[in-house]
Structure 1
């Protein structure tokens, strides 16, 4: 029975998802991961309207893509999302698969030095590849890594989702005043904290992503400036076999001002997405141009 004050539809959706997860967890990891990817791409995405949203986002920022490329991405994007979700729920099997991945990229040495010196670090990534791969690999190496996250709107699903991401590592800080306070205390103690920078923030700065205005939160850069923390873009890039990953650590973003630094984060992610278009979560309403036009009209009214 649904909890008081909670949606019955959320309760039913959660039951269906939990049932599906329990079923696929009976399969070996190498079968389970692509199976959920296929289910997400071929069944869930069309029914949930995700395919339509992918097409709309691509038409808005990449109108030059031909039809065959768009069709390919309409499969690859939800396939990657499904794989990511079941990998997170696979706990120890997932951790064992990624724990020894070497850190590559121009920022790997700076990240190791910050770890040795217990210097605060803000790790920034996006909904790309599997964003929990770097966190799992760094924690397995003994790095102190926390993460701030947005609780799921479906409270029934959120209970086991939080348990799953906690298996990969803690501490976790839910968005909100209490979580922010805990996260700042951890950061000041020399910890590393992970942020996702690629979500639409209604009152964010009007920065650009794929050449279009994409309101973006400045909080990661502002905290880096305030606490003299390194601001480091980091990514878990899915390999062609669909199961393995590489970890790319970009050079730390130079401390200038929050908007310049955050635009550099957007540019870093965009550069990587253009090389691996199917690995970014094009299902997101990242730009929301209609809402931006409405707000602009309201601000210029009589």
Structure 2
């Protein structure tokens, strides 16, 4: 076994990637529904606990819902890991995933606005979170004939990111990695009436805004891009249904143009409402709230001065 590669990362990252590649490669030989269920089960029963995902999810749930019982926290954390695993393998299985979504009709208050923006050739920026399967809406709209680009945040494990990124660039519109060059490419795609999607709900450089009642660093990129390009900013969500395989796609009313901070507060409220309805479908495994107390307050003052 050799660790020689053009990528950089720790040996632990490399070993973790080898293990995950082996699991994904094995599951991809199975029928689609079987592989989705098995990947969900693997994250729920073994990988999630061993990797610390379940523990982190339980810690985040305890922070946000301090009155929730231990049993309920464990249940939601397990369901979260199950959804996480299903989402990963669905996105690797993008052809079959698309076929399962082909008969879905999007619903929601944003459909008329979307149609008007398309007719006016106005840029459209879809914004969503790591909820349900965030690629389901893009799959559904792509099947309807739209080209939707993406701006994504590379994963910390460079080895895993190397092949996971390929799943996002194999279909739909062009996908760009976050950073100056990627953001500029993404904006060029949007200009002149293009469509793009952006996930915003991870800890990132930006001001500290309340999310689920606690301060969290929040990127303003979505609002800043929408304002710069006069793009309509539309939240959308792919909500997993009770069978664990099908989805409902909701296209919500657009976020009104305002200050970037107010636009992200409004987006937080939209995502919070989805989480309230289906708490296990949000990725509680993320380190969304990284610091506490005095340090967060200091960061808030620094970041907010930088925005001004």
Q: Which TM-score band (shorter chain)?
A: over 0.9
Q: Distance in 1 between matches of 2:208 and 2:15?
A: 38
Q: Distance in 2 between matches of 1:289 and 1:153?
A: 19
Q: Which residue of 1 aligns with 2:237?
A: 235
Cα distance, 1:154 vs structure 2 = 2.2
Deviation by residue 1:224-244 (Cα, 9 ceiling, x = unmatched): 112111011000000000000
Q: Distance in 2 between matches of 1:183 and 1:44?
A: 34
Q: Contact conserved, 1:115 with 1:143, CA < 8 A, in 2?
A: no
Equivalent of 1:224, from 209, 223, 226? 226
Q: Contact conserved, 2:147 with 2:172, CA < 8 A, in 1?
A: no
Q: Which residue of 2 aligns with 1:155?
A: 158
Q: Which residue of 1 aligns with 2:32?
A: 29
Q: Which residue of 1 aligns with 2:77?
A: 74
Q: Distance in 2 between matches of 1:124 and 1:299?
A: 24
The alignment partner of 1:104 has SS state of: coil
Q: Which residue of 2 aligns with 1:10?
A: 13
Report the aligned-residue RMSD: 1.7
Q: Which residue of 1 aligns with 2:254?
A: 252
TM-score (norm 1): 0.94
**Deviation beyond 4 Å, 4+ runs, structure 1:** 297-300
Q: Which residue of 1 aligns with 2:305?
A: none
Equivalent of 1:263, from 257, 260, 265? 265
Where do 1:60-71 residues align within 5 Å?
60-71=63-74
Q: Distance in 2 between matches of 1:274 and 1:169?
A: 30
Q: Which residue of 1 aligns with 2:145?
A: 142
Where do 1:1-302 residues align within 5 Å?
1-2=2-3, 3=5, 5-201=8-204, 203-290=205-292, 293-296=294-297
Q: Distance in 2 between matches of 1:293 and 1:101?
A: 47
Q: Distance in 1 between matches of 2:233 and 2:99?
A: 27
* Structure 1: gaps (5+ residues): none
TM-score (norm 2): 0.92
Cα distance, 1:282 vs structure 2 = 0.4
Q: Distance in 1 between matches of 2:238 and 2:298?
A: 40
Q: How many residues align?
A: 298
